[in-house]
Structure 1
Amino acid sequence: MANAQQARRVVITDKNARAFVEKILVANGVPSENALIVADCLVQADLRGVDSHGINRIPSYMARIRNGVLSASASPLVKQVTPAVVQIDGQNSFGFLGAKIGMEKCIEMASTFGIGMASVKGSNHFGMSAWIVQQAVDAGMMSLVFTNSSPALPVWGGKEKLIGVSPIACGAPAGDMPFILDMAPSVAARGKIYKAKRRGEKIPLDWALDAQGRPTDDPAAALEGVMLPMGGPKGSALAIMMDVFSGVFSGAAFAGHVTNPYDPSKPADVGHFLVAIKPDLFMSMKEFEDRMQYLYKRVTESEKAQGVEQIFFPGEIEQRVRRERLQSGIPYAEAEIEALNDEALKVGVSPLPT
């Protein structure tokens, strides 16, 4: 059954996917300029192959809007704290908005002062962290992008869900192949388990435990249990670090009090922490880029272990997938298309063109 469902895919162009999502958002009360940002960020995730954070998130977002726990019409408020620091109140708007504005401000401040920092509270899920890193890379900046999230991991030695699977992301410009790291402190991102559940697929046994603490390949059982941190206590400590910088520091929810994006019962109050840094603070930009290029070559041309065909730089695989999907389209599971079309039907938007 899982293999049959996995084989059924519908290919959509990024242009059609973006326009379709924009229409659903606007029909649900999102201002058009904000809808464009949200739709583009979701489609960028699908283009990079991060399908767990793409337009399939729309049904859960719309459920939160309908239940009044995510503000469709709100826009973030910006407060200048110091010349190089801003605080952003997301006003319970989409996380994409606060993150985008925050990084824009960081880039602007870093252009003048060498570094810019933004703290965001009162926010929501902002999808794939790599799109914010890419925003900085496109401006020629290095960056750090942190966020916290709802409980999914036990702390090392514990058994209850307490800390979020909060991604660690950072990047640096490097010509055609920038360094972009976007990773969860768990063995796998929780969004991948939700994706497997939607698609009727199994998950690897080392991703999560069920409610009884047993390894499971059933995504539904995994979601009732706990995710497993990568590297044991190291992954647990990294997840706590995300909560310190994104939650404690910002004034947002923390210590297990962030609401799951699939839970439409109350606001999420997610926190983010963003930093942009000028790469040429200590050397010329050309020297920095040359050094990054040397690092890329050393990494990708290093001696391969047995059975390895190619070594990739962080973010390189996603860049390749993006180029391919821009040409051939984005593959979605039929169940995902049906769920999106159900959302379209609720607000009188035409089905997704295939």
Structure 2
Amino acid sequence: MPIFLYYSLISGILIYTSSSLFVISPRLSLAFPIAQLFSIPLSILIMADTQESSESRRIHVAASEARRLVEDILKGNGVPAENAATVARCLVAADLRGVDTHGMNRIPSYMERIRQGVLNAGAQPTVNQVTPVVAQVDGQNGFGFVAAHMGMAAAIESARVYGIGMASIKHSNHFGMSAWLVQQALDADMMSLVFTNSSPALPAWGGRSKLMGVSPIACGAPGIAPTSDFILDMAPSVAARGKIYKAKRRGEKIPLDWALDAEGHPTDDPAAALDGVMLPMGGPKGSALSIMMDVFSGVLSGSAFAGHVTNPYDPSRPADVGHFLIAIKPDLFMSLQEFRERMQYLYERVVGSDKAAGVERIYFPGEMEQLAQAEREKTGIPLVQAEIDALNEEAKKVSAKEFVTISS
């Protein structure tokens, strides 16, 4: 008779039998025969989340100061002022929303790509209006933020007139947090869909080697208040790859159900995870979603696809990322006010629904990030000393003023 032991911190169930120990993870819909794969103490399996406890040991930086430093570093590396402002705004927006994996800590890797000549700092993307509702943007191997911003702007303008607009973007680079493009559409009272492809990290379902990217899918719809805006931004993997890079940078462990090492074993070591493969959310479903992102973002646009997108941390060659963006006018079938009121009703139904045991609050998609932003706008963006040092080092290289921090 198996003995069941529930452990909530890594969202799984341990099942012990006379012959083996299994971890069942509901996020993966899989069971791993842990004892047969490797031998680890049970204490290592039960991982505490150190985010809250380590927050007090971090140094806080005001958003305005973060944008200033990032802009200075970018301009010092040859990025035109307007483009530098766009990139800085998008990166710091991620930090404010608590998406630290896609924030200003990306700057050192971006600057290395510029120094190695595989990212065009001075690129000015071009827009070709293919039809009244379809635009194609050539990113000219510049920053993905700039190309995607131009693409969403073109889609929004088409949607204002025709109800819907679409932009396909080729020869681009990493554009950070997808939610900032959703927010660009929300600021124009638009619904949106945001797709991108990315470098290999996931195996095809049933495979063992990296092929597809952890390419996020994002979409949004305006509510009455910012907290009731619908903002979905998620990777088709159990966790975003940026979280593994962040854990490696900060010397932290990762949950065992995020990735496999190069030998196919579950690992809590972020370095081993990056050498191995990430695991798709929901097994074959996450795998299929990552392929879908490649179809719309890579195949359709003319960019790299099928495992040929370059990792943003690899300065050996251009990335050739593709994006696919749609803007939709929400008042096509009713007034904008009625649409917002219907969204508010949906919001209230979701957050007011019956809570499961142990749940204190139910959040609408994007609401937690909105609350994080409100808090960080007051208290600043938390960084560890190593992250401050890395950004200051980039500032020194271009004789820019280093960080002025709030507190530690």
1:335 aligns with 2:366: no
Amino acid at match of 2:90: C
C-alpha distance in 2, partners of 1:289/1:175?
A: 5
Amino acid at match of 1:251: G
1:258–1:269: 8 Å Cα contact kept in structure 2? yes
Paired residue for 1:254, among 305, 310, 318?
305
Q: Which residue number corresponds to residue 42 of structure 1? A: 91
1:142–1:173: 8 Å Cα contact kept in structure 2? yes
Q: Which residue number corresponds to residue 59 of structure 1? A: 108
Q: How does 1:33-112 map to 2 (within 5 A)?
A: 33-112=82-161
Distance 1:6 1:178, change over 3 A: closer
Q: Which runs of 4+ in 1 moved over 4 A?
A: 1-7
Q: List alignment gaps of at least 5 residues for structure 2.
A: 1-49
Q: Which residue number corresponds to residue 9 of structure 1? A: 58
Q: List alignment gaps of at least 5 residues for structure 1.
A: none
Q: Displacement of 1:3 after TM fit?
A: 11
1:174 aligns with 2:223: yes
Paired residue for 1:190, among 234, 238, 241?
241
Q: Displacement of 1:290 after TM fit?
A: 1.3
Paired residue for 1:219, among 270, 290, 293?
270
Per-residue Cα deviation, 1:218-265 (whole angstroms, up to 9, x for no partner): 101100000000000000000000000000000000000000000000
Per-residue Cα deviation, 1:157-185 (whole angstroms, up to 9, x for no partner): 00010000000000000121200000000
Per-residue Cα deviation, 1:251-288 (whole angstroms, up to 9, x for no partner): 00000000000000000000000000000111121221
Paired residue for 2:175, among 102, 126, 130?
126
1:310 aligns with 2:326: no
C-alpha distance in 2, partners of 1:322/1:6?
A: 15
Q: Which residue number corresponds to residue 150 of structure 1? A: 199
Amino acid at match of 2:297: S
C-alpha distance in 1, partners of 2:71/2:401?
A: 12
TM-score, with normalisation over the residues of structure 2? 0.85
State the SS of the aligned residue for 1:42.
Answer: helix
1:115 aligns with 2:164: yes
Per-residue Cα deviation, 1:300-327 (whole angstroms, up to 9, x for no partner): 0000000000000000000000000001
C-alpha distance in 1, partners of 2:332/2:52?
A: 52
State the SS of the aligned residue for 1:283.
Answer: coil
1:6–1:199: 8 Å Cα contact kept in structure 2? no
State the SS of the aligned residue for 1:234.
Answer: helix
Per-residue Cα deviation, 1:84-123 (whole angstroms, up to 9, x for no partner): 0000000000000011011111110000000000000000
1:6–1:200: 8 Å Cα contact kept in structure 2? no
C-alpha distance in 2, partners of 1:312/1:219?
A: 29
State the SS of the aligned residue for 1:170.
Answer: strand
Paired residue for 1:140, among 189, 200, 207?
189
Q: Percent identity?
A: 71
Q: Displacement of 1:5 after TM fit?
A: 7.5
Q: How does 1:290-329 map to 2 (within 5 A)?
A: 290-329=341-380
Distance 1:201 1:2, change over 3 A: farther
Q: Displacement of 1:6 after TM fit?
A: 7.0
1:178–1:315: 8 Å Cα contact kept in structure 2? yes
Residues paired across the two proteins, number: 354
2:165–2:327: 8 Å Cα contact kept in structure 1? yes
Per-residue Cα deviation, 1:22-58 (whole angstroms, up to 9, x for no partner): 0000000000110000001000000000000000000
Paired residue for 2:324, among 273, 292, 308?
273
Paired residue for 1:235, among 286, 304, 315?
286
2:263–2:276: 8 Å Cα contact kept in structure 1? yes
Q: Which has the larger radius of gyration?
A: 2
Q: Displacement of 1:2 after TM fit?
A: 11
C-alpha distance in 2, partners of 1:197/1:342?
A: 19
Q: Which residue number corresponds to residue 18 of structure 1? A: 67
Q: Which residue number corresponds to residue 207 of structure 1? A: 258
Q: Which residue number corresponds to residue 401 of structure 2? A: 350
Higher RCO (CA-CA < 8 Å; seq separation 6+): 1
Paired residue for 2:209, among 145, 160, 176?
160
State the SS of the aligned residue for 2:360.
Answer: coil
C-alpha distance in 1, partners of 2:141/2:117?
A: 10
C-alpha distance in 1, partners of 2:334/2:85?
A: 37
C-alpha distance in 2, partners of 1:41/1:29?
A: 18
Q: Displacement of 1:8 after TM fit?
A: 3.2
TM-score, with normalisation over the residues of structure 1? 0.98
